[in-house]
Each structure stands twice: as structure tokens, then as C-alpha cells.
Amino acid sequence: MNPKNTIMPDTNSEADTVSMTTEGDGGEEDIPDLVPIEEQSRDEYFASYEDVEIHRLMVNDVPRTTAYRDAIYKNKHLFKDKIVMDVGAGTGILSLFMASAGAKKVYAVEASGMAQVIQQVARDNGFSDIIQVFHKRVEDIILPEEEKVDVIVSEWMGFYLLHESMLNSIIIARDTFLSDEGTVFPSEARIYAAPCSLKSLYSEQINFWDNVYGFNMNSVKQYALRSKMIKPEVCLVPEDDLLANPTCIKTFNLRWITEEELRLFTETTFIAIARAGNYQGLCLWFECDFDGRDYDEEGKEFGTVVTLSTAPSSPSTHWKQTVVVLGYISEPESAPSHNNDSQEIELTCNEGHPAPHSQDEGHSEACGNTSNINNGSDEGKQKSNEQNQTVETSNVEYGIYKDYKVDVDEVVGWKIALCQSDDNVRHYTMTVEMLDPEVEEHPMPCQCPMPRCLIISKMIEKEDMEADDDIIDCT
């Protein structure tokens, strides 16, 4: 298992690629009046939402749309006679839900050309006096008389929650327009992760190259595997392919989270395998809560919590799951010999471009866009078991793919870092480092079953119980 394998997402977009030169008879010359990268990316982003097929896909996503409908209809006390805002209104379906729930005024904010359609949709459904459309970015609107809203609703989530999300815009809208006692829907979001096998992907796209009309296509197989390793895959992962219980790696309280908190965060996790199999990927997904609970004067609770889940165990959504593909490659015996030092492979690249296959650059910082090899010969980094297999990039074309099999109760670990792009806040650099549980420091408390972690968890639990006993009940 590679001690470190850092992977960058491919945005599948050229939105942040701007040519600075042009070739002609005179060679290269500067192009004046270029559109700034962020502005060009923003314009292309909003233009993409004028494709009605995108909206059909989202509205037809039953778990997604019914979660919003149920969250609004089952918590009508938040909307009746209230002023509310729909950020990124799309076709206006969420605005219609809120108007139907009794909202006094709905501000539907939509930057794409769909804004004109929303106004007609409002008229067609008898809500033209309730739904007011702003054909602008939420950052650019001004409400009448600096009015505040009681609720902000938005479907802002992207793949694995953050990629192509609108969360920064929601925070700006919240800080600008939401009343002190206001509500944000969804109210909380969580990212989950679990090690997984990828039977279908490997069978169809990797192991296909094992035998091609009787010819040896091993080099193509390794190339295919490497191409999968350098960018996350968006796919449906069967629940039975998860090798461990899911772990929450990040929680976002949408009422209080700041833009600064979105720029960079890391999480280290060690967990025990619950189902034996081939450890081929790290599966990511998210859940969102819509918490509309409140209490009346007598202390009786009313309202409800609705959860939208994109987990493999839940009905599938258009977000599916996001998988970081892991590859385990060793050199054949016939390959040239190398020293015994392990290597830590770090694949990084500019947003929107594949990571390079060769590693010949210097140090890469957390948010950097360069490639890097770190020598893994530090003390404690070498192990004789399969977890210390390495990828020699100079010989990867001669490598032999080997399954990394894990057994029940075996502990695996990883460190994941997400760094927001400076050029486009909707894009993130994802770095996943596979950790050796015998060597690396574990977080405290750690939920893995290694003896040291079990002892520490029991000590913390005992201290918490003793602290609870010391609390004096003054009621």
C-alpha cells in the first residue's frame, strides 16, 4: 500500500484556463483585455445553468426535491407570513414550495437567464405578487429598505458536498440579509468517508486489459489505473462494497460557519475494516439536515428534522458518490533494481488539468499546484508488509498491479485535506494520504480498536463521567 498517494480532482471544465499568448508570423504576442480567470469562470458557470436539461435532472432527483419539499411543508411555522430568500433559484421550484407554505414574500435570486422563466412560472401558479425575482448574483442584490429575511433556502451542494458548490455565496447572503433569529436551510451538512472496493469499475475499466485478443496489455492496464488515480470518480457505489462503517470527516453548521473556515481543512482517520475485501478506493458522500424544530411557551417541541442523504445506503441521487481510486503497483522481479527506500508519491496539478505522470518538481505546499516526490525513508516509514509497497514512477509502465486485501478488524488510515482554489471558490484541491496505523499518530480520541486507542478512549470516557458527576444541579 502506498504510504502517500495524493490525488487532485479534475473539474471537467476549462473555465479557469486562459491562454495568455497567441502564435502568428511574429511568434508569440500578448493578448490585451483578457477576461480575468475568476470572472470568465463565473460567467461560464451561470451560463451552464441556462440548459434546461440540467434543471430537469435536478428536479427529477426525487430524494433531493422531496427532501426540500418535506423540510418546507413539515416546518410551515418557519415560512408562514415570513420573508424568505431562495438563492440559486433555478426553475423556481423551491420558491414555489415556500410560497405554497404561506410565505409573505419570496426573493428568488438567479444569476442565469432562467430568472426570466421563474417570473413567468410565478405568474402561471398565481404567485406573481409573492415571488420577486432578482436576475443577479446574490452578492450584487440590494433588498428594499435594507430588509432582512427570516429564512434562506438554497440547494447549493456539489459533488462530495463542496466541488462546484455555492457555499461561499450562501454565507455572504446569510451575513448580509438574514435576520438575527433567522434560519438557513439546510441547517447542517456533513461529509462522510469509508474505504471501499470498486468491483464494477475495476472489472469494466481496469481488469479489461488483462487479456486483449491474446496480447499482453499490462502497460495499458497500469496506464488506465494511473489515469483513475489522478482524479476522483463520480459513480454509484453499492453499499456492500463499503469495507468499514462510515465516518464523518467534517461537519458544517450553516448558521455560523465562515468563509475562512472553507479555505482549508484536514482530517485524519483510522478505522477498523468490517468487511473483508480488496481495498481499492475511498468513498465520499454527504448528508444535509433541515432542522425546523422549535418549542412553544409550554416547552413542547414542534417542527421536525428532514435529512437528505447521498450515502450508498440511501436512494441514489444525481450527486451519486465520489471515489478516490487507490492503486497498488509493484515492480516485477525482472525490472532494474532500486534502493530499498520507499517513496511517497504526490500527484498535484492545476485545477481543470490532469495531474502529471512524471514527478520531477520540488516541494508542493498544501494548496500548491506543483508535482512532488517525497522520499519516504524517514524513521518508522519502512515496513516489510504490503502496506509499504511503492510506485516507482520511472518504471510504472513495467509495474504489476496487486490487489490490496484487507481483513475484518484490520485498521486502515488516511489523511484527507481539502483546499479551496484562490481563482475559483467553487473548486477544491483534494489531497488523500494513506497512513500506516502502526507508525502514524492517531487523533484523540480515536475510534479504531488498536489497544492504545481503546485505552485512551476509556480514559476520556471516565474523565467525562467524573466531570458530569461534579456538575451541581441548580434547578
- Cite the active site residues: 155, 164
Position 235, amino acid:
C
Judge whether 87 and 154 are in contact, CB under 8 Å: yes
* Spatial contact of 34 and 51, defined as CB atoms under 8 Å apart: no
Q: Which residues lie across from 287 on neighbouring strands?
A: 190, 309
Rounded CA-CA distance 323/228 in Å is: 10
* Dist. CA 182–CA 148, nearest whole Å: 9
Note every long-range contact of 106-109, with CB atoms under 8 Å and residues 24 or more positions apart, other chains counting. 106/130, 106/131, 106/132, 107/83, 107/132, 107/134, 107/141, 107/143, 107/149, 108/132, 108/133, 108/134, 109/85, 109/133, 109/134, 109/136, 109/137, 109/138, 109/141, 109/173
Cell for 295?
Answer: 418549542
DSSP state of 208: G
Rama region for 126: left / alpha / beta (φ>0; ψ in -120 to 50; rest):
left
> Does residue 186 have a cis peptide bond before it, meaning omega lies within 30 degrees of 0?
yes
- Residue 90 backbone class (left: φ over 0; alpha: ψ -120 to 50; beta: rest): left
| Sheet arrangement for strand 5-6 | 5-6, 343-346, 372-375
Q: Alpha-carbon dihedral of residues 23, 28, 33, 36, nearest 10 degrees?
A: 90
Sign of CA dihedral 118, 122, 124, 129: negative
Q: How many CB atoms lie within 10 A of CB 455?
A: 10
User: Of 312, 385, 292, which is closest to residue 75 (Cα–Cα)?
Assistant: 292
- Give the span between the Cα atoms of 262 and 255, in whole angstroms: 14
Residue 344: φ, ψ to 5° = -100, 120
| Bridge partner residues of 430 (DSSP) | 418
Q: Are 172 and 258 in contact (CB under 8 A)?
A: no
DSSP 204: I
CB atoms within 10 A of CB 272: 18
